[in-house]
Structure 1
Amino acid sequence: MDILVISPEAGNWISPSSLTTAVNRMADAFSRVGVRVLTISPFYKSKIKDPDRYECVFKGKEWLHGHSFEVYRSQDDPLHTYIYNDEFFGRPYVYGPPDDIPYGDNHLRFAFLASAALAYASAIRFKCMAIIGHEWGGALIGALAETIYQDDFESVPFFFFVHNITYDFHVSSSEIENIGLPRKDYNMDGYEFWGKVSLLKAGICYAHKVIFPSPGYRDAMLYTNLPGGLSGFLSHNANKLIGIQFGVSYQFWDFNKEKLPIKTAKANARKKLAEKCGADFGNKLLMYVHLDAEAGNTSETLATILADVTKEDVFVLVGSSQSHPDWSYYCDCAKQDPKSLHVIEFEETFSDVEALRDILAAADIIFAGNLREPSTSILLKALACGCLPVTGRNVGVASMLTDYTFETAAAANAFLVDDANAPHLMLPRVKDALNINRTDTADWDKIVVNAYGGFHYEWDKTISKYLLIFGELGL
């Protein structure tokens, strides 16, 4: 099976984004099962490692506006192909300056990406059986495949991957023809959104199936009243929407390279982290709280019970960036009570994944409130490090976890509540974890082993489910 993949972010980046990492892991996993994937993304020279090691292997013109493009590849990066045009991709940022207005021509830039990718695939006679577009930057593939490139791709199913539905780009309806959309579908059931064009809706509109990064996220999008009226559009297209859990790369997240007993490995990781932080964890239960842009109400829930938690034999580690609205609050708390709380600074992108792995390897539990993270992969990463989630049954991946009770101790790997947004439910579960850790070490050791060794959700499992979906369409 051959698959064409177009993403606004992918490949050998210096500091991979979460989208880049996900697309790369998919490419790796497809390759392992013998699927030939042509993964195409822009050639951002400021983002790619060693750009001078790449060479131009093709020059052509896309068919939407006749813009010239170059195709770059490297033997060091065989799974990825890159499109370059200096006008569109010779800029310092992917979408626009951080914390500023996005580039006003982003719709033209990524319409060009879609068109150039299809033109290249046509030129090299890449006879794919499926096309995948990622996020709004890859959304226009479906429409272009059915119109300008219909001779080559009209019969090829388009799968639109929505990693985070809060990301979209809206443009004036005067730009419809400029980005290759059929004007007949400019309506509320198509890609119209409050008098403008929504690239996200366009991707969904022309997709055969829309893939979300977890079943829980798919259900949340369908059954939550999303702002702006998008809920009705998703409900109208409910038969297209599929949630498939993203995996994690255990080759990276398994910190225990020496294959020591997990109890020993975590004790070593705890000691190293304490030295790195200059903090004294003592013999306390080490609880990590991850506060990034997708942490939902975790911070609010923690703040409500923080005084109660720090009265217990618990040391709280907060991972955050200075841009988080509660950064100063937790820093002040840490100054007042350094024996119970420490703040670890991440950059806004949380791109230092090795630092995150070291924290999860050292921590006993991760406090995850009402996460908005589409795939809740932070919990899978925690499990891979033998770190037990304290979270809600309504969180994306929780349906695959086993709650700790006296009866389920042999299989348990988490501490779950009905509503992770409820402080009065989360606090008792933290205390339960502390109690088991202190009074029933045999049960605690078993739960950690269950998390670290008994629960593996690799990307290969994710890919196998994608292939089943493709198979149902006769591919």
Structure 2
Amino acid sequence: MNILAVSPEAGNWKHTSPLATAVNRMTDAFASSGVKVLTCSPLYKSLMVDLESYHCIYTGVEKLQGKSYEIYVSDKDPLHTYIYNEEFFDRPDVYGPPDEIPYSDNHLRFAFLASAALAYAEATEFKCQAIMGHEWGGALVGALSRTTYAGYAGEIPFFFNIHNITYDFHVASSEIEKIGLSRENYNMDGYEFWGKVSLLKAGILYATKVLFPSPGYRDAMLNTNLPGGLSGFLNRNADKLIGVQFGVSYQVWDFNDQDCLPIKEAKRRAKHALQEKLGQNLDQKLVMYVHLDSEAGNTSETLATVLSDIARLDIFIIVGISSKDPDWDYYKNFSNQYPTVMAIHDLEDDTVDSNIVLRDMLAGSDLLFAANLREPSSSIILKAMAAGTIPLTGRTVGVATMLTDYGLETAGEANAFLVDDANAPDQMLRRTKDTENVFKTEVADWDKCVVNAYSGFHYEWCRTVSKYLLILGELGI
């Protein structure tokens, strides 16, 4: 099977984004399963690792805007194809300067990306059975396959991956023809959004299936009152929407992969190593890790509300947070005042491998405190479980719908502690107290939870891709 994939972010960047990481791992998993994937993304020369290893293998002219494009590949990066055009991609940022107004021509830039990818696939006679677009930056490949490139791709199914529905790009209706859309679909049931064009809605409209990064996220999007009337549009297209859990790379996140020790012994060693690093006696304490990155949602607000209560428990808290975060000073001051209760780690520390540091902190911890996460796939929960660390989160948070909550009747199968509303501080506090109680008094139950989390719930990217392929198979592809 051959698949053409188009993403605004992918490949070997100096600083890989969550989107690029997901697309990269998906591409790797497809290749491992025997699928040939032509993954096309822009070439940003200032962002690439080993730029000198890339060379141009093809030049052409795409049909939509009549602009030239160059195709770059690297022997060190054989699974990715890069599209370059100096006008559109010789820029320091992907979408625009951080925290500033996005580039005003983003719709033209990513329409060009989609057009050039289709043009290259057609010119090289790439016989694909499916086309996949990632996020709004890859959404227009679906529309163009039905319009400008209908002769080549008009009958090929289009699968639209929405990694995070909060990201979109809106343009004036005067730009419709410039980006290859059919004006007849400019209405509330199509891609119109408050008098403008929504590239996200365009991707959904032209998709055969829309893929979300977890079943829980898909359900939440259908049952949440999203702004601008998007909820109604999603529900009208509900039969297209599928939630497929994104995986994680266990060769990165499984701290016990090399030693293959019994998980109880591996956790004991990891906790001792963390204790040495922090200079704290953690042997009898429940160690709770809280990851406050850009995808943490309201976790920080929830933690701050109940922090004084948690501090009275026999719990040691580790907070991973950026020194640029507005809440940094609050947690820094708290840790300075109560060093036997809390330690913080600066996520901006670029002197270390951030993945390794996070993996080791999770491995040395007993509990992940993850309140109302913004991250659709909730990969931090999977990373914690790969470290034998039990998640405390909400029932509706991404992957949590696939987890088993601890209780008297589920003690043997449980791998998590769940609450109905992870945005409710009282519920998170009450469940935190429950975890401390089980950790202290129900040792056998706790150990079983750790085993269930670590070895009973492996969700590799190959599982994600196998479900994708099953969906394709059900459609007769």
What is the TM-score with the length of structure 1 in the denominator? 0.96
Aligned partners of 2:353 and 2:72: how far apart in 1?
25
1:215 maps onto 2:215 in alignment: yes
TM superposition shift of 1:278? 5.3
Aligned partners of 2:474 and 2:49: how far apart in 1?
38
Is 58-67 or 255-264 further displaced after alignment? 255-264
Matches within 5 A, 1:406-421: 406-421=408-423
Structure 2 equivalent of residue 226 of structure 1: 226
TM superposition shift of 1:261? 2.4
Deviations 1:221-279 (A, max 9, x none): 11100112211111121111111111111111101122222223223323333444555
TM superposition shift of 1:205? 1.1
Structure 1 equivalent of residue 332 of structure 2: 331
Structure 1 equivalent of residue 457 of structure 2: 455
Structure 2 equivalent of residue 470 of structure 1: 472
Deviations 1:97-155 (A, max 9, x none): 11111111111111110000000000100010100000010010011111111100000
Structure 2 equivalent of residue 30 of structure 1: 30
Structure 2 equivalent of residue 20 of structure 1: 20
RMSD value, Cα:
1.8
Aligned partners of 2:353 and 2:181: how far apart in 1?
35
> Helix, strand or coil: the match of 1:79?
strand
Is 255-264 or 31-40 further displaced after alignment? 255-264
> Helix, strand or coil: the match of 1:406?
coil
> Helix, strand or coil: the match of 1:82?
strand
> Helix, strand or coil: the match of 1:438?
helix
- Given residue 442 of structure 1, which amino acid in structure 2 is its aligned partner? A
Aligned partners of 2:349 and 2:93: how far apart in 1?
15
Matches within 5 A, 1:395-410: 395-410=397-412
Structure 1 equivalent of residue 139 of structure 2: 139
- Given residue 133 of structure 2, which amino acid in structure 1 is its aligned partner? G
> Helix, strand or coil: the match of 1:78?
strand
Structure 2 equivalent of residue 289 of structure 1: 290
Aligned partners of 2:168 and 2:123: how far apart in 1?
30
1:170 maps onto 2:204 in alignment: no
Could you tell me which runs of 5 or more consecutive residues in structure 1 were left unpaired when the two chains were aligned. Answer: none
> Helix, strand or coil: the match of 2:421?
coil
Aligned partners of 2:72 and 2:18: how far apart in 1?
23
Q: 1:278 to 1:227 in 2, by over 3 A?
A: farther
Is 267-276 or 89-98 further displaced after alignment? 267-276
1:356 maps onto 2:358 in alignment: yes
Deviations 1:343-397 (A, max 9, x none): 2111399993222212211110001112221111111111011010011212221
Aligned partners of 1:150 and 1:272: how far apart in 2?
59
Aligned 8 A contact 1:15 1:351 in 2: no
Aligned 8 A contact 1:5 1:38 in 2: yes
Matches within 5 A, 1:361-380: 361-380=363-382
TM superposition shift of 1:50? 0.4
Is 431-440 or 285-294 further displaced after alignment? 431-440
Structure 1 equivalent of residue 182 of structure 2: 182
- Given residue 91 of structure 1, which amino acid in structure 2 is its aligned partner? R
Structure 1 equivalent of residue 259 of structure 2: 258
Structure 2 equivalent of residue 106 of structure 1: 106
Matches within 5 A, 1:81-96: 81-96=81-96
1:442 maps onto 2:444 in alignment: yes
- Report the identity percentage: 66
Is 53-62 or 332-341 further displaced after alignment? 332-341
TM superposition shift of 1:440? 2.8
Aligned 8 A contact 2:176 2:183 in 1: yes
- Given residue 177 of structure 1, which amino acid in structure 2 is its aligned partner? E
Structure 2 equivalent of residue 192 of structure 1: 192
Aligned 8 A contact 2:275 2:281 in 1: yes
Aligned partners of 2:46 and 2:190: how far apart in 1?
36
Aligned partners of 1:153 and 1:351: how far apart in 2?
42
Aligned partners of 2:260 and 2:13: how far apart in 1?
30
Could you tell me which runs of 5 or more consecutive residues in structure 2 were left unpaired when the two chains were aligned. Answer: none
Aligned 8 A contact 2:7 2:40 in 1: yes
Structure 2 equivalent of residue 248 of structure 1: 248
